[in-house]
Amino acid sequence: MIEISNIGLGLAFLGGLASFLSPCVFSLVPAYIGYLSGNQLIVITENGFGKRTDLKQYKIQKRGGTGIKTAKVTAKTGKVVGAHVISMDALDEDMLVTSAKGQIIRIPLKSISVLGRATQGVRIMRPGSGDKVSAAAIL
């Protein structure tokens, strides 16, 4: 998480800001500083892995921060394709995960495991041969 100057709403941004040696931003997710306790970040990868992580595990960075590792990206998991901040009240909602070839699943948010910040996650969806997860949305 990066600390941002006062912009009126007290927003901070989370995401995959990598170091200058490997410039890669996969997502900037707004999080309200006042409500960080209890909120979670959901991350989904292109090979169908996902996890929930407590926002308390993300430190606040000042200017010049080089980013915070959010997921263990390997050939097995694939690249991160989606990240969403949810409140504990939203755990009764569902997530819709879609693949590039049209496979769609609906999964309850509370069934996604809560894991550490720099882990690969658990299998959420098993895309078919030659297919990849392309998007995820909270319903």
pLDDT score recorded for residue 22: 46
pLDDT score recorded for residue 72: 85
Environment class of 131 (CB within 10 Å of its CB; exposed 0-12, middle 13-18, buried 19+): middle
Question: For residues 95 and 104, is the Cβ–Cβ distance under 8 A?
Answer: no
Specify if 1 maps to a domain: no
What is the CATH number for 106? 2.120.10.90
Instruction: Compute the residue count for the chain.
Output: 139
Specify if 2 maps to a domain: no
Quick one: CA dihedral 49, 101, 16, 92, positive or negative? Answer: negative
Structure tokens at 118: 């720099």
Per-residue pLDDT of the chain (139 residues; tens, 9 = 90+): 444 444 444 444 444 443 344 445 555 555 555 455 678 889 999 999 999 988 888 777 777 767 777 888 889 999 888 888 888 888 889 999 999 999 999 999 999 999 988 888 899 999 999 999 999 999 8
pLDDT score recorded for residue 96: 95
CA distance linking residue 40 with residue 43, whole number of Å: 10
Query: On the CB side of 138, how many CA atoms lie within 13 Å of its CA?
Result: 17
Range of the domain at 70: 11-138
CA distance linking residue 111 with residue 124, whole number of Å: 9
Q: How many domains does one find in the chain?
A: 1
pTM: 0.73
